[in-house]
Amino acid sequence: MDLEKQVDEIIDNIFKYKIDIAIEQTITIIEEIMNDIENTISMDQNRFEDIMNYINIALQNKDYLFLADLLKYELMLSIKKQGVLQ
């Protein structure tokens, strides 16, 4: 499954209030990105760290709407700007 579909699935699970599944999926997607970051994503390291910090804050605060926004409008847009996703 591609990254964009994974993010859409996480957001869908958040809105269906399947929070445990959404959290597991978020962890999986972040692990995948971390494993591939050197090879596929040339995103500014500071920007990526900021996004990861905000994702961590959203999870700690159980602010799942914020998490959904971060995934869709920050993480995905930053990756798309790098030309990794079309």
When divided into structural domains, the chain yields a total of 1
Range of the domain at 35: 3-81
Domain assignment of residue 86, yes or no: no
Domain assignment of residue 10, yes or no: yes
Asked whether the predicted pLDDT for residue 85 surpasses 90, the reply is no
Convert the pLDDT of each residue in 19-70 to its tens digit. Answer: 999 999 999 998 888 877 665 555 677 888 899 999 999 999 999 999 999 9
Distance from chain centroid for Cα 57 = 13
For residue 28, CA distances in Å to 9, 22, 31, 81 come to 12, 10, 5, 22
Domain assignment of residue 22, yes or no: yes
Domain assignment of residue 72, yes or no: yes
Domain assignment of residue 49, yes or no: yes
Domain assignment of residue 23, yes or no: yes
The string of DSSP codes covering 14-82 is HHTT-HHHHHHHHHHHHHHHHHHHHHH----HHHHHHHHHHHHHHHHTT-HHHHHHIIIIIIHHHHHHT
Domain assignment of residue 12, yes or no: yes
